[in-house]
Amino acid sequence: MKAVAYQDSLPIETPSSLVDVELPEPEVGAHDLLVAVRAVSVNPVDTKVRRGVAPAAGEWKVLGWDVAGEVLQVGRAVSGFAVGDRVWYAGSIARPGGNSERHAVDARIVGKMPSTVDFAQAAALPLTAITAWEILFDRLALAADSTGTLLVVGAGGGVGSILVQLARQLTGLTVVGTASRPETRDWLLELGAHAVVDHRRPLAEALRDAGFAQADYVVSLNQSEQHFAEVVELIAPQGKFALIDDPASLDVVPLKRKSVSVHWEFMFTRSMFATPDQAKQGRLLDELARLVDAGQVRTTLAGHFGRIDAANLRRAHALIESGTARGKIVLEGF
Q: Rounded distance, CA 63 to CA 97, Å?
A: 4
- Delimit the CATH 3.90.180.10 region(s) of the chain: 2-125+269-332
Query: Topology of domain 2-125+269-332, per CATH?
Result: Quinone Oxidoreductase; Chain A, domain 1 (3.90.180)
Residue span(s) of the chain under CATH 3.40.50.720 come to 128-264
In 134-234 the beta strands, taken as DSSP E runs, fall at 149-153, 174-178, 195-197, 215-220
DSSP 277: T
Query: How large a percentage of the chain has pLDDT more than 90?
Result: 93
Between CA 131 and CA 110 the distance in angstroms is 15
State the Cα angle at 245 between 190 and 194, rounded to 5°: 20
Give 252-294 pLDDT, tens digit per residue.
999 999 999 999 999 999 999 999 999 999 999 999 999 999 9
Give the three-state DSSP class for 188: helix
Q: Longest Cα pair distance anywhere in the chain, in angstroms?
A: 59
270-309 residues labelled b (16+ CB within 10 A) or e (exposed):
bbeeeeeebebbbebbbebbebbeeeebbbbbbbbbeebb
Amino acid at the residue 118: D
**pLDDT surpasses 90 at 149:** yes
- Give the model's pLDDT for residue 245: 93
Q: Tell me: the pLDDT tens digits for 172-229?
A: 999 999 998 898 999 999 999 999 999 999 999 999 999 999 999 999 999 999 999 9
Whether CATH 3.40.50.720 fits 128-264: yes
Pairing of strands 149-153, 215-220: parallel
Q: pLDDT tens for residues 290-307?
A: 999 999 999 999 899 999
**What pLDDT digit, counting tens, does each position of 54-75 carry?**
999 989 999 999 999 999 999 9
Enumerate the H helices of 29-118 as residue ranges: 44-52
Global pTM value: 0.94
119 pLDDT tier (thresholds 50, 70, 90): very high
pLDDT at 324 over 90: no
Q: Is the pLDDT of residue 327 over 90?
A: no
Nearest CA-CA partner of 184 in 218, 221, 211? 221
Cβ neighbour number for residue 220 with a 10 Å cutoff: 23
Question: C-alpha dihedral over 332, 292, 299, 99, to 10 degrees?
Answer: -30
The average confidence (pLDDT) of the chain is 96
